[in-house]
Structure 1
Amino acid sequence: MGLRGLRRRGRTDANTAAGERHTTAAAVELRGVRRSYGRGAYAVHALRGIDLSLPRGSFTAVMGPSGSGKSTFLQCAAGLDLPTEGSVRLGGTEITGMDENALTRLRRSRLGFVFQAFNLLPSLTVEQNVLLPMRLAGGRQDRARAADLLARVGLEGTGNRRPAELSGGQQQRVAVARALVTRPDVVFADEPTGALDTTTAAEVLGLLREAVDALGATVVMVTHDPAAAAHADQVLFLAGGLVADRLPRSPATTVAARMTTLTPTPQAA
């Protein structure tokens, strides 16, 4: 069962939330973002000036060779790391100058995360894992919302089970439900299918795709897999800490071919 059963209510909820969070703003906006580690001759310039704006209700894949800046991009865009220079806005909110407490509150209430390693807490039930962002944010734990999402990701009736009782693919489905439970401004996914077989990976990617199409979610996914990137509305290619190229939604073969020719080029502001 997909997520489309939540389309009408999900869009209403998403629109209400967006109205409270500056509807005209992009979901993710980076301006002049640079990130360096170390100093002088030993400095590593992971990001060299990223300028981009990602609209609400879009699915963006980020690709690039090892060392291209993908992970640093995700960390800076999600407020997990601070840029050396530049500005990051999420859902219309400037996060660059926020203190750590404010950033933590924002991440808990307005961002969702899906990781390669699932990151479920083994001591909690499936339902408790899904509700964890609500609990950490100090809000009401909406058990009906959790049950609804678990049903939509094909895990109806599993709420009382522990993660260890589920397959890897099922655990990643729980992680997707957890990422969506607070109706976040953005879901950041870091190699979400890296630990899954091809069939299960396609199912999880289909869930992320439906979250965008049916619920109006915004997904930003770092991946090395052209087949995964083919589910996105656009693919951003990073090379040398710059946005080297973009593709609109394209088949995996086209994405893979573009990956083989990447060279860093200065981007327009």
Structure 2
Amino acid sequence: MDDVVVMNAVSKVYGKGRSAVAALREVTTGVPRGRFTAVMGPSGSGKSTFLHCAAGLDTPTSGTVRLGDTELSGMNETRLTELRRRKVGFVFQAFNLVPSLTVEQNITLPLRLSRTRVDRGWLKEIVTRVGLAERVGHRPAQLSGGQQQRVAIARALVTRPEVVFGDEPTGALDTMTAREVLALLRETVDGMGQTVVMVTHDPVAASYADTVLFLADGRIADAMDAPTSDKVAARMTRLGAWNR
């Protein structure tokens, strides 16, 4: 099984001198292709920085990141932006939909921005898989929160990305809706072969993943395969400062 993201000795420091803060410290890991990986840790453990460096949204202070067959080190912002549009999908806690656009227009927006032709067959498959076939002409204000997040997931998938990154994608949803969205992310892995990396604070959300990476104080403290919510919650109580 090959890794779609490889991080080698990645550190990220914000600020300089005595005010410098190390968000990541020499992180070395790989994210396997076609799998669902969750990233967990206490507040301030480096979860979001991990995601931003892995996805090419932020540049490490030191170390290297490879996404697919592309080494991100040394790429300027223009090339990184083009890479993200082609190879990366994003799903955030805030749905980030354009209110004036329809569901279909929101989904295909990344293709229009990169001047790429819309594959109508692929678009139809995605819309059907996320359960929005009857909603393509609606606007975000006409949808529930769960439906809006499904639009965001479809938008993340439409470019056939190497990996979909989720930053607390269920954080703004009620429990029942969150589970539906998590089941959908799980289905994109099992049914479509997609790679998903999700930052979350929720042990139940993490239990949908194949593997959980635990961060503490900017380092990977542990990894867990075949997680359950109980096992994840128990491990979280023994991480970093929480353990002290």
What's the TM-score once normalised by structure 1's chain length? 0.87
- Is 1:214 aligned with 2:182? no
Cα deviation, residue 81, structure 1: 0.6
Q: 2:33 aligns with which of 29, 32, 56?
A: 56
Instruction: Give 2:126's aligned residue.
Output: 149
Instruction: Give 1:110's aligned residue.
Output: 87
Instruction: Give 2:207's aligned residue.
Output: 230
Q: What do the CA deviations read for 1:26-81 (whole angstroms, capped 9, x no partner)?
A: 21100010000111111000001100011110110000001000011111111111
Instruction: Give 2:136's aligned residue.
Output: 159
**Partner SS, residue 177 of structure 2:** helix
**Partner SS, residue 30 of structure 1:** strand
Instruction: Give 2:219's aligned residue.
Output: 242
- Is 1:74 aligned with 2:51? yes
Counterpart CA distance in 1 for 2:121 and 2:104 is 10
Counterpart CA distance in 1 for 2:163 and 2:209 is 14
Cα deviation, residue 181, structure 1: 0.8
Q: What do the CA deviations read for 1:134-167 (whole angstroms, capped 9, x no partner)?
A: 1112210223322321111111121111011000
Q: 1:192-207 to 2 correspondence within 5 Å? A: 192-207=169-184
Counterpart CA distance in 2 for 1:27 and 1:241 is 22
Give the fraction of aligned pairs with identical amino acids, expressed as a percent.
63
**Partner SS, residue 114 of structure 1:** strand
Cα deviation, residue 25, structure 1: 5.1
Q: 1:13-52 to 2 correspondence within 5 Å? A: 26-52=3-29
Q: Check whether the contact 1:147–1:159 (CA below 8 A) recurs between aligned residues.
A: no
Aligned length: 241
Cα deviation, residue 259, structure 1: 0.1
Instruction: Give 2:97's aligned residue.
Output: 120
What's the TM-score once normalised by structure 2's chain length? 0.96
- Is 1:136 aligned with 2:113? yes
Counterpart CA distance in 2 for 1:106 and 1:254 is 36
Counterpart CA distance in 2 for 1:199 and 1:34 is 37
Instruction: Give 2:150's aligned residue.
Output: 173
Q: Check whether the contact 1:58–1:212 (CA below 8 A) recurs between aligned residues.
A: yes
Counterpart CA distance in 2 for 1:123 and 1:96 is 37
Q: Which runs of 4+ in 1 moved over 6 A?
A: none
